[in-house]
Copies of this chain bind each other. A is one copy, B any other.
Amino acid sequence: MSEEKIQAAAMDAEFSAHLEQEKRFVDLGLRRYLPSEELPPHTIHKAMHYSVFAGGKRLRPILLLSAGRTVGGEAERLLPAACAVEMIHTYSLVHDDLPALDNDDLRRGRPTSHRVFGEAMAILAGDALLTRAFEILAHFPEGTELAPIRLRVLQMLAAACGTGGMIGGQVADLESEGLPVSEELVRAIHDSKTGALIRASVQAGAVLAAASDEQIAILDRYARAVGLAFQIMDDVLDIVESSTALGKTAGKDTQQRKATWPAMWGVDASRCKARELVDEAVSAIAVFGPEARRLRQIAEFVCERHR
């Protein structure tokens, strides 16, 4: 069987259709909450749309929506924050791809922002996506009674994006190039660089759905395991897949001697680790029963995806 067939068999068709529907829902939200390309200054709005609509998996917003729904939240109330986390994720990719950082020419199968719009515009487009995300979080969901919830979500996401989270992970990643890799270092980079925003996305969904502290703690165990599994699989795919299938320049991690899981333990052990983490995530949310079906499927999907 070809890889495509294995993937198709592994992924339940109903879940596949659900993922597509979720993506469309998020994309509609993103079109609503991003400044229109028709508005001046056109170039930067075009650059923002270009990177946001470059075919991402929408993992973070879908996790936010699914976590929120699992504890009884309504999709419409969750959507603005779901869009904000995708804008934040996109900003981090745009800046990460810059020549001064990872110097990537390809992202999701298309030329990176700075290759299309130039470096200056890519820097500003990233800045604008981050700024817009916070603006949306400050405005939605509307209603004076929701003001404390909006602020809590803002606080969580800002902390996850800062030097104690995503940016700190990017710094550690930069500084680790060429250094000997230790488990502690790899784990610390994963936890902050991608883990923090994934965890904050799940937490934001829970908080917006008025989850209890106990529910939030359970969802956080899930998010921590899924986030790490996702990053490990990303690093595995960087090694085993071609640039075409991957949609970005393959093998760059190895070239740049980045501190990654497969660089330490090899591809097979890394796949096993991801599998373990997914099982851990799934058992953490067992207490939610059938309501957590989507979260379980997402965890499985993270482990089985090929790109």
* A100-B119, A121-B171 known; A138-B164 Cβ under 8 A: no
Give the contacts of A121-138 with B (CB-CB under 8 A): 121, 123-124, 126-128, 130-132, 134-135, 138
Please state the number of chain copies in the assembly. 2
A74 at the interface (CB under 8 A from B): no
B123 touches A100 (CB 8 A): yes
Chain B residues with CB below 8 A from A163, complex form: 35, 39, 41, 44-45, 48, 128, 132
A167 touches B120 (CB 8 A): no
B170 touches A124 (CB 8 A): yes
Task: Report Cα–Cα, A132/B168, bound state, in Å.
Answer: 12
B118 touches A135 (CB 8 A): no
Query: Which residue from chain B places its CB closest to the CB of A119 in the assembled complex?
Result: B100
Tally chain A residues at the interface, Cβ within 8 Å: 49
A167 touches B128 (CB 8 A): yes
Quick one: CB contact mask for A14-48 with B, threshold 8 Å, 1 for yes?
A: 00000000000000000000010001110111001
Nearest CB of B to A12, in Å: 38
A267 at the interface (CB under 8 A from B): no
Chain B residues with CB below 8 A from A174, complex form: 120-121
Quick one: CB contact mask for A168-183 with B, threshold 8 Å, 1 for yes?
A: 1011101100000000
Chain B residues with CB below 8 A from A39, complex form: 163
Chain B residues with CB below 8 A from A130, complex form: 127, 130-131
Nearest CB of B to A10, in Å: 37
Q: Which of B45, B95, B131, B132 contacts A124 (CB 8 A)?
A: B95
Query: Which residue from chain B places its CB closest to the CB of A161 in the assembled complex?
Result: B131
Chain B residues with CB below 8 A from A100, complex form: 118-120, 123
A159 at the interface (CB under 8 A from B): yes
Q: Which of B48, B126, B147 contacts A147 (CB 8 A)?
A: B147
Q: Which of B41, B48, B126, B167 contacts A175 (CB 8 A)?
A: B41
B120 touches A134 (CB 8 A): no
Query: Which residue from chain B places its CB closest to the CB of A171 in the assembled complex?
Result: B41
Chain B residues with CB below 8 A from A150, complex form: 151
Task: Report Cα–Cα, A198/B142, bound state, in Å.
Answer: 27
Chain B residues with CB below 8 A from A138, complex form: 151, 154-155, 158
Give the contacts of A96-145 with B (CB-CB under 8 A): 98, 100-101, 118-121, 123-124, 126-128, 130-132, 134-135, 138-139, 144
Nearest CB of B to A124, in Å: 5
Question: Using a CB–CB distance below 8 Å, which chain A residues touch chain B?
Answer: 35, 39-41, 43-45, 48, 91, 95, 98, 100-101, 118-121, 123-124, 126-128, 130-132, 134-135, 138-139, 144, 147-148, 150-151, 154-155, 158-159, 161-164, 167-168, 170-172, 174-175
